Amino acid sequence: MTILETIKGPRDLWPLTVPQLDELAEEIRAFLIRAVARTGGHLGPNLGVVELSLALHRVFDSPQDKVLWDTGHQSYVHKLLTGRQDFSKLRGKGGLSGYPSREESEHDVIENSHASTVLGWADGLAKANELLGRPDHVVAVIGDGALTGGMAWEALNNIAAAKDRPLVIVVNDNERSYAPTIGGLAHHLAALRTADGYERFLSWGKDLLDRTPVVGRPLYDSLHGAKKGFKDAFAPQGLFEDLGLKYVGPVDGHDVAAVESALRRAKGFSGPVLVHCITEKGRGYQPALEDEADRFHAVGAMDPQTCLPLSPPSGPSWTSVFGDALAEEGARRPEVVALTAAMLHPVGLTKFAERFPERVFDVGIAEQHAAVSAAGLATGGLHPVVAVYATFLNRAFDQVLMDVALHRCGVTFVLDRAGVTGADGPSHNGMWDLSVLQVVPGLRIAAPRDADELRAQLREALDVDDAPTLLRFPKESVGEPLPALGRVGGMDVLRQDDAAEVLLVAVGAMAGVCLGAAELLAGSGVRCAVVDPRWVKPVDPALPPLAARHRLVAVVEDNSRTGGVGAAVGQALRDAGVDVPLRTFGIPEQFLAHASRKEVLAEIGLTPVEIAGRVGAALARREALEPKENQE
Ligand SMILES: Cc1ncc(C[n+]2csc(CCOP(=O)(O)OP(=O)(O)O)c2C)c(N)n1
Ligand SMILES: CC(=O)[C@@H](O)[C@H](O)COP(=O)(O)O
Ligand SMILES: [Mg+2]
């Protein structure tokens, strides 16, 4: 039996010796490589927090003490130590979530996989403990990447002010988000890392000079006098200490005894304290360590020996089509610049960055800053393209509204992972953008249905320099071209039928689903036309009169039904005095449990069969309600 198999809960760690802990760490790494290669997941981040997780659960008594994880993608070891060792369906339907989950365990608190929130949670929990007289500890783990998010600093500002409120912050500093972490903070963390090197260098120098006859001592004394200036130059006084936080570190995050000692010291402080752990993303797995792009930050199911994907993609992704198109546009349009929030490669900016390195800005995990900086770039005469995952733009809504749109800035937002993403769980689905952004005056939104449309709509967006534009597409292969048979207003006709009873309005990647539904309906004698609005906001003025020529209209979108495109179409029809019955198909107003995109789409009825069935039933109900003489 392995040591790992004996760990049923954190307290089983407490009696272990350091050699046993080192052995357990190796067992855990082997487990992670084997299990995550089989299912896919965040392998690199979790390989980097093995010893840290062991030490945390030896020093703190979870769940009484709260162990909190920022972003939560690095909580696999935490799960292994808190009674969850069946990773066979990790991130899959009915299996373990890839993030903390209260439903799974009392040891889990934050399920939200959006970065930079952990310190806010910790601030609140520590205040609650103080007010309710609980002696429990709160320890928050935040990565160096997540620390570049503004929310982290809002929390730090509050935490540092409460000098007598215990709270332990662990900075898991592996020098990377996906790519190496950017910005002044990264430089400061690096300086703190050298602080340790500086001290070691100093003690080495002192020993050497002590052993140097005659000149040694006087030389050491003069150097020592210069120490203050030298230290400030090479290891500046900690930003965190200047804020008012106690600082412990830097600590070798892979030396479990050292981490444990630092955490025990921190636990003993009566106020807020920051433990700076130096770790290595991908530790213990050479292919991850050699992965310059992102140290196997997030891998698909793969062969652990060859690292080749077990199920290669069926075709080019939307991301790759966008990346190629933007690089081409960038060659023609010198005013185009690109912004990423620490996800240059995942959002497809690699090629653009290779060709125009001076025209790409990685702002760190700071989507709000990206939007406001883009407003500045646009006002300065450039055309910024802000490429983010759809769900992460949620936090920049006010900046899109009040900085970009209010000032009519020509900024183009490109939302990857729009719609159901699936395996990353409820906080990763890009299911709110078409609802939340409906209220932004002047913002124009496009949803391409295939690669050609993505390229065309990107060009159209880049031509707009007096208003914000936005494109959105899902996490999947881009699929076959879906050619237009004609155009009505600005809308493409995908299935032509002048005698159609039903009009299906297909939003973006739902075009294929609508064409499939129309085919099924035709098989049961219901004639359908299918249109793709292309630009879904504002609603095309040609849509109400077109709708009026049908007996039923259905809008199908990979977005929340609440306040989405379907709702906007309904409002446009009413405003135009068109009272044709309307059905809206989309994502229900709920948080979706993790499963594959395909499984989730089936669960929520965004499939040809389901849509055909419900449209057919709605039409039948309409017929049943109509007086006989009205029916053709
Ligand atoms: C608001 C937000 N933006 C972007 C992401 C995507 N993302 C997930 S993990 C990650 C990098 C996190 O880096 P760090 O905090 O240093 O953790 P590490 O992976 O290095 O352990 C990013 C950018 C996110 N989860 N949340
Ligand atoms: C934790 C996080 O937010 C990202 O790592 C995300 O899981 C990546 O998603 P994709 O795998 O879809 O790029
Ligand atoms: Mg990091």
Q: ipTM value, please give it.
A: 0.99
pLDDT band at 223 (very low <50, low <70, confident <90, very high): low
On the question of pLDDT at 228 being above 50, the answer is no
pLDDT band at 227 (very low <50, low <70, confident <90, very high): very low
On the question of pLDDT at 232 being above 50, the answer is no
Give the residue among 557, 517, 562 at the shortest CA–CA distance from 536. Answer: 557
Is the shortest distance between the CB of 346 and ligand 2 below 6 Å?
yes
Q: Whose alpha carbon is nearest atom 1 of ligand 2?
A: 73
Asked whether the beta carbons of 126 and 156 are under 8 A apart, the reply is no
- CA-to-CA distance for 611 and 556, rounded, in angstroms? 9
Average pLDDT over residues 485-505: 97
On the question of pLDDT at 455 being above 80, the answer is yes
Tokens of 124: 């609140």
Q: Where are the alpha helices (DSSP H) in 214-317?
A: 216-225, 227-234, 239-243, 256-268, 286-289
Mark whether 367 is an active-site residue.
Answer: yes
Is the shortest distance between the CB of 273 and ligand 1 below 6 Å?
no
Mark whether 395 is an active-site residue.
Answer: yes
Q: Which of 281, 424, 596 for a ligand 2 pocket mutation test, highest count of atoms within 8 Å of Cβ?
A: 424
Write down the pTM of the prediction: 0.93
Give the residue among 463, 411, 464, 466 at the shortest CA–CA distance from 437. Answer: 411
Is the shortest distance between the CB of 173 and ligand 1 below 6 Å?
no
pLDDT band at 192 (very low <50, low <70, confident <90, very high): confident
pLDDT band at 195 (very low <50, low <70, confident <90, very high): low
Is the shortest distance between the CB of 71 and ligand 2 below 6 Å?
yes
Long-range contacts of 597-605 (CB under 8 A, 24+ apart): 597/420, 597/421, 597/422, 597/423, 597/474, 597/475, 597/476, 598/422, 599/93, 599/422, 600/420, 600/422, 600/429, 601/420, 601/558, 604/420
Q: Which atom of ligand 2 is nearest to the CA of 392?
A: 3
- CA-to-CA distance for 273 and 5, rounded, in angstroms? 34
Q: Which of 52, 71, 116, 394 for a ligand 1 pocket mutation test, highest count of atoms within 8 Å of Cβ?
A: 71
List the catalytic residue out of 84, 281, 295, 561.
281
Tokens of 525: 């004698």
Q: Which atom of ligand 2 is nearest to the CA of 346?
A: 13
The predicted structure's pLDDT at residue 11: 98
Is the shortest distance between the CB of 559 and ligand 1 below 6 Å?
no
Is the shortest distance between the CB of 46 and ligand 1 below 6 Å?
no
Q: Whose alpha carbon is nearest atom 12 of ligand 1?
A: 177
List the catalytic residue out of 58, 395, 534, 551.
395
Is the shortest distance between the CB of 113 and ligand 2 below 6 Å?
yes
The predicted structure's pLDDT at residue 197: 55
Give the residue among 269, 273, 249 at the shortest CA–CA distance from 259. Answer: 249
pLDDT band at 214 (very low <50, low <70, confident <90, very high): low
